[in-house]
Amino acid sequence: MTTDSCKVLMIFPLFNASSFWNYKEACDLAGARYPAAPLGLITVAALLPKHWEVKLVNRNTELLTDEDFAWADMVMTGGMLPQRNDSLRTIEMCRTSNKPVVVGGPDVTSSPDLYSAANFQVLGEAEEIMIDFITAWRRGDTQGVFKAPMGKTDVTKSPLPRFDLLKLDQYLHVGIQFSRGCPFSCEFCDIIELYGRVPRTKTNAQVIAELDALYALGYRGHVDFVDDNLIGNKKALKKFLPDLKLWQNKKKFPFEFSTEASINLADDTDLLRSLAETNFFAVFIGIESPDTDTLVMTQKKQNTRRSLQESITKIHEAGIFVNAGFIVGFDSEKSSVAAGMVECIEDTSIPVCMVGLLYALPTTQLTRRLLAEGRLFSGGEQTQSGDQCTAGLNFETNRPRRDVLNDYRTVLA
């Protein structure tokens, strides 16, 4: 190997077995191996020198072999909190095989100390700092930490992700991204800590080029806009949607879209119409709680001063169905929370709900408050088998823990 050629093995770690991200039954129904493709890693792959060879192994869909390790000059890995166990395992395997390993992604960025066994850490958004890592690697460095300023990366410089590295038929949907960041301030949210409260958007041409690339690879069907909040910058979105509609028309609507958005989407009839016209069929909305006091306390004020039922109905009327997230375990919650949540789900006719237990994610306002109150448990033991939704409550709850868990069970039933 010379310093200017390199074989990079990208390993997408396994999600914990009980993570809600797996939705295995839906995959079985559709003949897919996993719901979502690893968009972060294929974006990083596009930042590497063109002549470097890249191989991607997704541990959720395929086996990682000794031959893969033997082939590689370097391993890149990392992901989200529910992938932490396997990310750490992967680092260990690299150390055993004597392969330099680079880690990045949201969990590494939030908790870098846990990943200190890796040779290199790329913290934050990779676009503007990968070049520093590449320079260090070419120089012969064997370790280093490269840190991007949080929430500041210019996403118009983000490269076209290497969709060609994916085995597209293994997934329920493929992700693309229009924006990063969210203007709101929910206390439990780490998005705003990692990606900022000023949403940054790609150019229309960038996103259309991504769709062109997917189309050229023969992909058809479900594309998920993985934005933190697609309507975070409504002005930019409204400028983008006419181009997207034009593209869909020209190609005879090869894609159907889903995304995440805040509930104030319901207040903008024109925007709803434009989304439906471009073939958005589903949106995930964080409702979190039917209890106004809880929404105020957790700083989710955009969900207050409105009828949740009317808001969801307006989105349904536009022809877009709503998946929603609910959380049990907030401090201000009352014993009536389970009944209120069930009633809210039934009244809003939401067909797919993700009900989770509150988890204080690293770096959030919630974690800082619980720490100051001496209520945060140390370590990440709660996430050994599940994730922040299925194995949450990593803190001393306000109500008796047994009551909170009973309410969680009632809503799930």
Q: Which residues bind ligand SF4 (CB under 6 A)?
A: 182, 184-186, 189, 191-192, 228-229, 262, 286
Give the nearer residue to ligand SF4 in terms of CB position, either 75 or 324.
Answer: 324
CA 205 to chain CA centroid, Å, is 23
C-beta closer to ligand SF4: residue 254 or 325: 325
What's the CA gap between 213 and 189, in Å, rounded? 32
Pairing of strands 200-201, 171-176: unpaired
Residue 181 beta carbon to ligand SF4: minimum distance, rounded to whole angstroms? 8
Q: Rounded distance, CA 325 to CA 327, Å?
A: 7
- Nearer Cβ to ligand SF4 (22/262): 262
CB-CB contact of 175 with 225 (8 Å): yes
Other C-beta atoms lying within 10 Å of the C-beta of residue 141: 13
| Nearest alpha carbon to residue 258 among 286, 232, 281 | 281
| Helices within 167-291 (DSSP H only) | 191-195, 204-216, 234-250, 269-277
Question: What is the rounded distance in angstroms from the CA atom of residue 58 to the CA atom of residue 22?
Answer: 13
Closest distance between ligand SF4 and the C-beta of residue 197, in Å?
8
Tell the smallest beta-carbon distance from residue 183 to ligand SF4 (Å).
7
**Number of C-beta neighbours around residue 293 at 10 A:** 14
Q: How far is the CB of 286 from ligand SF4 (least distance, A)?
A: 5
Q: How far apart are CA 325 and CA 300, in angstroms?
A: 13
End-to-end CA distance of the chain: 57
Query: Which stretches of 318-386 are DSSP H helices?
Result: 337-348, 365-372
Nearer to ligand SF4 among residue 101 and residue 263 (C-beta): 263
Q: Which is nearer to ligand SF4, 40 or 286 (CB)?
A: 286
Angle among Cα 235, 305, 403 to the nearest 5 degrees reads: 115
Nearest approach in angstroms of CB 158 to ligand SF4 is: 19
Dihedral over Cα of 99, 105, 109, 112: its sign: negative
**Closest to ligand SF4 by CB, 77 or 177:** 177
**Minimum Å distance from CB 266 to ligand SF4?**
14
CB of 195 vs ligand SF4, minimal distance in Å: 9
How far apart (Å, rounded) are the C-alpha atoms in residues 318 and 273? 6
Q: Please enumerate in sequence order all residues whose Cβ is within 8 A of that of 139, keeping only pairs 6 or more positions apart, or say none.
A: 3
Least distance CB 250 / ligand SF4 (angstroms): 32
Class of residue 342 by CB neighbours under 10 A (exposed 0-12, middle 13-18, buried 19+): middle
Cβ closer to ligand SF4: 13 or 290?
A: 290
Nearer to ligand SF4, 191 or 244 (CB): 191
Nearest-approach distance from CB 104 to ligand SF4, in angstroms: 21
- In the complex with ligand SF4, the residue whose CB is nearer, 37 or 189, is 189
Helices and strands counted in the chain (H then E): 15, 15
In the complex with ligand SF4, which residue's Cβ is closer, 189 or 320? 189
Cβ atoms of residues 15 and 59 within 8 Å: no
- Residue 219 CB, shortest distance to ligand SF4, in Å, is 27
